[in-house]
Structure 1
Amino acid sequence: MRFYSRKLIKPEDLNSNGTLFGGSVLSWIDEEAFIFVTCQLDKGNVVTKYMTEINFVSSAELGDIIEIGMETIKFGKSSITIRCEVRNKFTKDIIIKIDEIVFVHLGEDGRPAPHGATVPQN
């Protein structure tokens, strides 16, 4: 797993308990996953199709720095499946784990289309 993105937890990222709001981190994950997959396929016309269970393992607090990691699991003809972990940069405590996020490459007609990729890009 490679960690590509870091975020500073700011007041606007907190929930009513004073910890990281799940909706904020899920938005960051979706954006980072899109960027990761676009780089893997060298194509930008992809959409999120499916996410497995989102496992909230721990939380983060104001001032924490978190990092978002992605790893390619497999390639289908028109899909790519990745895995994601979010962790505290300094303690390495896992905050969120998602075992599978599936993206589908779309053709010009908006339907799934072969992407032609078979190995992960750097």
Structure 2
Amino acid sequence: MVEIGFELEDLPYGSEPLSLDVPDFNGCTSCFATSFYECKKIQEISLRKKRLLRYILNQFKPHIYVIEWAAGRYDCGCRYQLGIRGYEEDGIVDMDFDDGSIIPLFYITKEMVVQQWEGKKWEKKVVEN
């Protein structure tokens, strides 16, 4: 996992505490926190060497389901985006952008915009195909 611009807070500062009643939090009270600049968190899952998983995905075509909880701060607005991308097995597709980046087979995203003074409540964001 690559994290750019994030810090880990033991207890959220500027938003509500994480609820111990929510199973997704696994009893944790810490969270990632961003700065006043753009931050990115990237997790890449390669299926290249996982033949059984690749077989299951190709044969049964299960739904891809990704969740993350997000909250803004009470004193400033923010924009949050959760997305998933799928690429060809070898990472090569027919077309690419002018900058050389690869075009994904699919790209699904959910966005949350929080206005100033409204952002301390945690919201569950779900992305699925």
TM range (shorter): under 0.3
Q: What is the TM-score of this pair, normalised by structure 1?
A: 0.24
**Which is greater in Rg?**
2
Could you tell me the TM-score, scaled by structure 2's length? 0.23
- Name whichever structure is richer in helix by fraction: 1
| Greater share of residues in strand | 1
